[in-house]
Amino acid sequence: MVRLMISMVLLWLLTACTTSVLAPTSQLVEKAIAFTLEQSQQQLSQQLDLDFQGFEIHRLSIAQEQPLTIQNLPTYRVRGTYNLTFKLPKRKLIQPHKPFEVYLQLQREGKTWRLLLPEGSGKDSKSVWRSYFIQ
C-alpha cells in the first residue's frame, strides 16, 4: 500500500515537472512571416501601383529560438532565413536567403499563438508591442 502511494506521488511529480511550453513550429513561423509580408505587400501595391499576384515561402530555415518573457507570457524570438518568390503578372521575383526575425507569444491558455511586432520605442525603457493572432 505504501509503495502504491509513493508511486502515485512520484508519477504526479513527474507529470507536473514535464509540462513545459512548446516551442513554435516551422508552420507557425511561416504563417507569421506570411502575415508580415502581406502587410508589406499591401502597402507596396498601393504606393507603387504594382499588381502582386501573391508570394510563396520556400526553404524556411530556423537558426535560433530564444525563449523570453514579454508581458508575463512565454515568448520566442525566432531567427533564420527563407527563400521568397513574389508572383507578378509577367514574371516571378525571387529573393533567396532572406533573413527573418519574429516574436511569437504563447497565450495564457497554452493553445494559441500571437505574433508580436515592436512599435516605435518610447522614451522610457519599456517596449510597446502590437499583437496579432496567428492561426
Q: Mean pLDDT for each consecutive 10-residue tract of the chain (135 residues)?
A: 57 44 89 92 74 88 96 96 90 94 94 90 69 90
At 87 the pLDDT is 87
pTM of the model: 0.75
Rounded Cα distance between 61 and 76, Å, is: 16
pLDDT for 14: 46
Instruction: Check residue 47 and give its pLDDT.
Output: 73
Instruction: Determine the Cα–Cα distance for residues 102 and 116; give it in Å rounded to an integer.
Output: 7
pLDDT (0 to 100) of residue 124: 54
pLDDT at 34: 95
Per-residue pLDDT, 7: 56
Per-residue model confidence (pLDDT) at position 17:
42
